[in-house]
Copies of this chain bind each other. A is one copy, B any other.
Amino acid sequence: MLILYYATNTCSLAAHIALEDAGADYELRRIDFTRTEQQSPEYLKVNSKARVPAMVTPRGILTETPAMLAFIAQSFPDAALAPLNDVFAFAELQSFNSYLCSTLHVAHAHRMRGYRWAYEASSFADMQRKVPESVSACYDLIETRMLKGPWVMGDNYTIADPYLFTLAQWLEDDGVKPERIPRVIEHRNRVAERPSVKRAIAAESAV
């Protein structure tokens, strides 16, 4: 049994969808960011980083989306969520996910979480002004160089797809013009149609 700690409208949706894709036996535990539950003493015992997602496994607790996604793919090989027997293809997939966490998600985070990296309100406002440019640059690269289509890695749906789908929920709010990235938008629509994705979103909306 796995337990996924998540918060609505965060990147934890990616791992949540992957658990649905995998047919995993898991429980959801919601962390309410509006009540800053991620900083409660109870949650800090689960994840001292005060972030989501965190996943309790029989062996211990995992954090960091790319690691959790690869863990889900390797733990449920029958779901074929990653090219587990092809070292290069697996590395390409991991490279994509690493870019999402360390570049795209980070660029996005400067819109609402500038306090992580600066002190002044004027800096936060400046960071917010740059987000449309920096996030658009990431999506341009994904659109033209990285997204193979129809799925991120080509013919097969993998753990990269729910991750891109999850971050792509925020692109309009980040000021990215959807018309400049038609393949990313088409991919987002394609992923949205999957039953596993609908189930995950319904479960997070139901609380």
Complexed CA–CA distance, A102 and B49 (Å): 13
Contact A64 B122 (CB under 8 A): no
Instruction: Quickly give the copy total for this chain.
Output: 2
Contact B99 A102 (CB under 8 A): no
Interface of A is mostly: helix
- Per-residue B-contact encoding for A68-112, CB less than 8 Å = 1, 0 else: 101100110000000000011011101101110111011100100
- Per-residue B-contact encoding for A50-69, CB less than 8 Å = 1, 0 else: 00000001011011111110
If A74-B87, A88-B59, A123-B122 touch, whether A95 touches B110 (CB-CB below 8 Å) is no
Complexed CA–CA distance, A101 and B120 (Å): 25
In the bound complex, residues from chain B placing their C-beta under 8 Å from that of A87 are 71, 74-75
**Using a CB-CB cutoff of 8 Å, which residues 112-152 of chain A contact chain B?**
116-120, 122-123, 126-127, 129-130, 134, 141, 145
How many residues of chain A are within 8 Å of chain B by beta carbon? 47
- The contact of A60 among B88, B117, B126, by CB within 8 Å, is B88
If A48-B145, A117-B110, A130-B117 touch, whether A62 touches B95 (CB-CB below 8 Å) is yes
In the bound complex, residues from chain B placing their C-beta under 8 Å from that of A123 are 118, 120, 122-123, 126-127
In addition to A49-B103, A98-B101, A101-B102, 10 A-B residue pairs with Cβ atoms within 8 Å of each other are: A49-B141, A64-B95, A67-B98, A70-B91, A70-B94, A71-B88, A106-B106, A119-B129, A119-B130, A122-B126
Identify 9 residue pairs between A and B in the complex whose beta-carbon atoms are under 8 Å apart, listed by A's number: A59-B88, A64-B95, A67-B97, A74-B91, A101-B101, A102-B106, A106-B117, A117-B134, A123-B126
